[in-house]
Amino acid sequence: MVKSTVRFPEAVVEEIEALVDEGVVESKSEFYRFCSEYVLAQRLDDYEPRTLDFDDLKAELIEDSVGRDEESVSFLESLLFVRKQALRGNVRDAEDFIDHHYDPVDRDAVLLEELLSFYRESDSESSATPRRSVQSERR
């Protein structure tokens, strides 16, 4: 194998180290090799991954995080839906969506809940401040 030095943001390395500590991958190197080969396999039709236990790692790191049921949606789709509902004042519908599509401890669920908290705070601030009527006053 060839040794190559790559720089990553500290937060990325900390997350990868957490995966190592959890036993998801044996080492940071294994994670980096897998990710590189996964992207190459997605981009190049004739690329054959050489990482040991590639399919097992793929099942653990990719397929489990995406979800396997027919109702799974991408995080971006979820984010857009939750934002749209919140902007329309349908916070309860957005909460129901998150509860139905995500495990409560899932990172994506936590991020979506945080997004909703922003709209809840904005909503409570705007209700505390009286709004002026847009209609013209009659004299």
Checking if the pLDDT of 88 tops 60, the result is: yes
pLDDT recorded at residue 131: 39
Reply yes or no on whether the pLDDT at 70 is more than 70: no
Which among 66, 87, 108 is the end of a domain? 66
- Cβ proximity of 21 and 47 under 8 Å: no
66, 85, 103 - which closes a domain = 66
In a domain, 115, yes or no: yes
The string of DSSP letters for 53-113 reads: THHHHHIIIIIHHH-SSTT---HHHHHHHHHHHHHTT-HHHHHHHHHHHS-TT-HHHHHHH
State yes or no: pLDDT of 102 exceeds 60: yes
Residue with tokens 């900390």, as numbered in its chain? 14
- What Rg, from alpha-carbon coordinates, does the chain have? 22
In this structure, the answer to whether residues 16 and 52 fall within a common structural domain is yes
Any domain includes 102: yes
- Which range of residues forms the domain containing residue 27? 10-66
| Interatomic CA distance for residues 58 and 137, integer angstroms | 65
Summarised one tens digit per residue, pLDDT across range 41-66 is 888 889 888 888 888 888 877 765 54
Entry pTM: 0.45
